[in-house]
Amino acid sequence: MKIFAVGMNYPEHNKSLHVPFSKPEVPVIFTKADSALLKDHKPFFIPDHLGRVEYETEIVVRICKLGKTVAERFAPRYYDAVTVGIDFTAREMQQKLRREGLPWELCKGFDGSAALGEWVGLEKFRDVQALRFHLDINGRTVQAGCTSDMLYTVDELIAYISRYFTLKTGDILYTGCPTGCGPVCVDDHLEGYLEDRKVLEFNCK
């Protein structure tokens, strides 16, 4: 299983990061190690050596078919379910790596950094590009977004990634986060919602 993720895919989030463009020339793609996956309500143990760790709430799609160099018009055939996930990020480390022009794996791909909710079949929704989602921490909504605001659509991302990596059944794709990222603390209780359906729930330790 491969874990793909997308950076800087929502314009308001890009503004908050003070990046010098509204839309990257091509999608910003990175990967996470398989040990990053956190699911089944297991707790997230905040690494004490990575500094400030922030949540990034995202729509995640599940690859359901082997594919290579997939044309955008055929991309919908290659994913069958969605959920809400969290791309945990060691923010201070990311800023340092970005300044130095270095890869993001250390700040993005550490153990437990890819929290994943329960899958919901695409047939439950009218349009993957019209999904609302939000994250509550300790009962308060801290981040919300809609896939209609994505700079690169799911189909565009599938087509682009498949030019470089063979997609395999069970691979997952984190599609980027809206503005509103913030830190997590020990004893925080996180709940992720896809439309009005709670699909993600766990504690930080």
Number of DSSP helices (H) and strands (E) in the chain, helices first = 4, 15
- Residue 23: predicted pLDDT: 84
Tell me what the mean pLDDT of segment 162-180 comes to: 97
More confident residue, 12 or 96: 96
Domains of the chain: 3-204 (3.90.850.10)
- Residue 17: predicted pLDDT: 67
Written as one letter, the residue type at 134 is H
- Residue 14: predicted pLDDT: 61
With contact defined as beta carbons under 8 Å apart, do 32 and 172 qualify? no
18: left (phi over 0), alpha (psi -120 to 50) or beta: left
Tens-digit pLDDT profile for residues 148-169: 999 999 999 999 999 999 999 9
- Residue 148: predicted pLDDT: 97
Tell me what the mean pLDDT of segment 27-39 comes to: 97
CA dihedral 49, 3, 137, 122 (to 10 degrees): 180
Average pLDDT along the chain = 95
Whether residue 21 has pLDDT greater than 70: no
Residue 128 — pLDDT band, cuts 50, 70, 90? very high
Q: What is the token pair recorded at 51?
A: 């500094």
Task: Tell me the whole-structure pTM to 2 decimals.
Answer: 0.95
Whether residue 83 has pLDDT greater than 70: yes
Of all residues in the chain, the percent with pLDDT exceeding 70 is: 96
Whether residue 20 has pLDDT greater than 80: no
